[in-house]
Chains A and B, each alone.
Chain A
Amino acid sequence: MTMLKRYTSHQIRNVANSMWLSLDPGHLALSISPLYEMLSAYPIRTAEIIGLTFQSATDFLTSETGQVIPVPENGDQPLAGFLFIQRFRSAFYGCILVEQGDPIVRRRFSAAHELGHYLLHFRPILESLPGDADLILAEGLTYSKDSPDELPSGKLAMVDSPNRDVQFNFIGNDLVEREANQFAAELLIPEAACNIIYESFSQKYGTKRQILTKRLATEFLVSAEAMRWRLATLKLQSS
């Protein structure tokens, strides 16, 4: 049974900050994080497709790779994001798909969430295994139908010997999903920038919390819910 590495909030922040530090200095002045540039630092393709489901994700991958690609689940359940990563004989490649019909703020959060899984959960497994160990990791990301304003969640699944069997084992849990969400929030709303902009805007908007949150969300190109969550975790506002 594969054990996923656990993280403190501080460790997740450090991983997200390291992404910012690897960028050209010109990007550091931006409040909207250059997500594509960050994702491009890894051999991961990102694409947007209409009507994202497990079925359409596997159709896309099969069409693009010429191979039948295994996915953890079948079906037409709508997904906001999809992650597929494989390492075979030291060659590592991945693909993140997001639902094209989602608002840009949600698409960015979904992609950042999946990148979080790669950095926080997949990479440590790779590092703990011999260099020739093969592995596939996949996840479908959804938003709750009942509470669409909540942060997304998925079920991380892994194949640990894909050259023997393609049976996926679900290895994730709520904690792992929260870690990926925190990573996404740290990446898209860095603490230092958030503190500065919050300070500046709160002078202007005062106690009008909702307006302030929406204004800040626009500044960072994230959803109001993600912004509210971030302000609460930074103790700038109560949740």
Chain B
Amino acid sequence: MNTKDHPAPSSLRRSLISFCDRVAAICHVIAAIAIGVMLSLVVIQVVFRYVLNTPIGWTQEISVFSLMLAVMAGMAVAVWRAEHFKVSVIADCLPSVIGRVLGFISHLITITFLSVVVWFSYQLALRAMWQVSPTTGIPVGYVQFFLTGGCLVAAFLLTVKTVLRHDTISDQNAVIAEQVS
């Protein structure tokens, strides 16, 4: 995990960070599995259409749902590991105290936005429960809960990160470390 703890972490702090690391790891695995499901379904679609000459519709729908799950689960992981794209030029030039204050404000803005999305996507999902998808008949509301769930987990992880002032390696460094390794 690309994390570095503050000095003398308390046991509660350590447990919370370890819990969040585990949540992020589970979300990451869910996202990777969803990508695998998506790939399998598109391949099945190609085989049925070109080899067996029997196009099937449901694969397309489920593969889009898998993508939604992958994006929302992966988004929460990216929030915890600070992997989302950002412009850090200004913050990098400022004294560290101001940088930390700006970082705190930035987290607050993100948490507020995520909370707004959680609330309204929940409302939207409840309204969409009577609506079913065309080929699989799955209530669309369930699929919309991916948005609610992903934002909820992301908001939780970011809140823990903000409260504990838990730093993660910046997005660019994480990408570089991953690429170079």
Do these two chains really belong together in a complex?
no
Name B's A-contacting residues (CB within 8 A): none
